[in-house]
């Protein structure tokens, strides 16, 4: 496949995507073509860089650091949280990604080489970013839709974290659905990229399947850790939202005010 043929196929698919999105009058119709254009540029740059990076552990470490920073920034921008949460978000990405990677390489399931560290690290970090974003988006909506229930718990003396427990569990469960479904349907509905890439690289189907299983297990572990850490950060909101707003936003009615109002209503009845 020549670069020209690749670009023609990509351009046609981008035009198809844009046409459908415009026809449906979806929000931000240029978002998908722009994302594809960015992917083309970024992968092109990545391909050039990797020639000198993939065999050096120090360069791989630097590259993974850049990935972590980019993932943190995407979560921050997507959820529009306050800047003070940036260190916590970065810690979530690092911790949730590092634990499964340590398990994989410490057990010897995958050789600890720069090539595999970069490949597996990039996959796990990307999944961590997705789970955090999905958890945050769901959590913001659920805090708003379940505000009355949370106020009822607070009026009974529950802690903020206990009052938000149902919303947190629902948000985390929703965020884990994509990676869970991908794992459940592997080999039936989908042929994951790691498996296909390993086969194309010359590995036997059995070796490729072993690598893919390790990748899927790492993704699920990272997703669960991401949801847990993210819920720990935002799972006990200091305020009850009165409308849609970023997580951690303080321009809402406080818990103490909610509790007092609930107590007054009980006294009046």
Q: Do 83 and 213 reside in the same domain of the chain?
A: yes
Range of the domain at 15: 1-53
SS (H, E, C) 31-78: HHHHHHHHHHHHHHHHHHHHHHHCCCHHHHHHHHHHHHHHHHHHHHHH
Q: Do 44 and 72 reside in the same domain of the chain?
A: no
Q: Tell me the pLDDT tens digit for each residue of 84-128.
A: 999 999 999 999 999 999 999 999 988 898 888 988 999 999 999
Q: Do 117 and 237 reside in the same domain of the chain?
A: yes
For the ranges 68-77, 92-101, 134-143, 192-201, the lowest mean pLDDT is seen at 192-201
| For range 28-41, the mean pLDDT | 86
Q: Do 68 and 42 reside in the same domain of the chain?
A: no
Structural domain tally of the chain? 2
Higher pLDDT, 16 or 248: 16
For the ranges 7-21, 126-140, 186-200, 215-229, the lowest mean pLDDT is seen at 186-200
Q: Do 48 and 103 reside in the same domain of the chain?
A: no
Q: Do 123 and 179 form a contact (C-beta atoms < 8 A)?
A: no
Q: Do 129 and 33 reside in the same domain of the chain?
A: no
pTM for the whole structure: 0.75
Q: Do 175 and 219 reside in the same domain of the chain?
A: yes
Q: Tell me the pLDDT tens digit for each residue of 214-266.
A: 989 999 999 999 999 998 998 888 777 666 666 766 544 444 444 444 443 33
Q: Do 28 and 107 reside in the same domain of the chain?
A: no
pLDDT of residue 47: 74
> Of the residues 38, 53, 68, which one is the last residue of a structural domain?
53
Q: Dihedral, CA atoms, 77, 79, 82, 83, nearest 10 degrees? A: -30
DSSP state of 240: E
Q: Do 202 and 135 reside in the same domain of the chain?
A: yes
| For range 162-191, the mean pLDDT | 87
Higher pLDDT, 174 or 193: 174
Q: Dihedral, CA atoms, 68, 177, 134, 37, nearest 10 degrees? A: 70
Mean pLDDT, rounded, of the chain: 83
The C-alpha angle with vertex 95 and arms to 92 and 98, in degrees rounded to 5, equals 140
pLDDT of residue 254: 45
Q: Do 124 and 219 form a contact (C-beta atoms < 8 A)?
A: yes
Please give the Cα distance from 266 to 263 (Å, whole number).
Answer: 5
Q: Do 215 and 144 reside in the same domain of the chain?
A: yes
Q: Do 213 and 239 reside in the same domain of the chain?
A: yes
Q: Do 206 and 78 reside in the same domain of the chain?
A: yes
Q: Tell me the pLDDT tens digit for each residue of 46-85.
A: 777 666 667 778 888 888 999 999 999 999 999 988 899 9
């Amino acid at each position: 496949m020549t670069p020209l043929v690749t670009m023609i196929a990509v351009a046609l698919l981008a035009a198809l995507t844009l046409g459908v999105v415009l026809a449906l009058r979806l929000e931000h119709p240029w978002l998908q073509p722009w994302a594809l254009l960015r992917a083309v540029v970024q992968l092109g740059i990545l391909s050039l860089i990797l020639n000198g990076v993939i065999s050096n552990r120090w360069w791989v470490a630097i590259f993974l650091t850049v990935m972590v920073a980019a993932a943190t920034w995407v979560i921050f921008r997507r959820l529009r949280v306050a800047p003070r949460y940036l260190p916590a978000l970065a810690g979530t990405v690092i911790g949730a990604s590092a634990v499964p990677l340590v398990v994989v390489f410490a057990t010897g399931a995958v050789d600890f080489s720069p090539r595999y560290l970069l490949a597996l690290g990039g996959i796990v970090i990307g999944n961590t970013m997705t789970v955090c974003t999905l958890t945050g988006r769901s959590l913001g909506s659920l805090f708003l839709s379940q505000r009355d229930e949370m106020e009822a718990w607070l009026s009974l003396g529950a802690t903020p974290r206990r009052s938000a427990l149902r919303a947190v569990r629902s948000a985390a469960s929703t965020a884990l659905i994509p990676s869970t479904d991908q794992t459940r349907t592997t080999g039936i509905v989908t042929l994951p990229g790691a498996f296909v890439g390993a086969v194309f690289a010359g590995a036997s189907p059995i070796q490729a399947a072993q690598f893919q299983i390790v990748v899927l297990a790492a993704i699920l572990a990272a997703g669960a850790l991401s949801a847990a850490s993210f819920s720990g950060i935002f799972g006990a909101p200091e305020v009850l939202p009165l409308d849609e707003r970023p997580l951690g936003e303080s321009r809402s009615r406080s818990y103490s005010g909610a509790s007092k109002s609930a107590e007054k209503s009980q006294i009046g009845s």
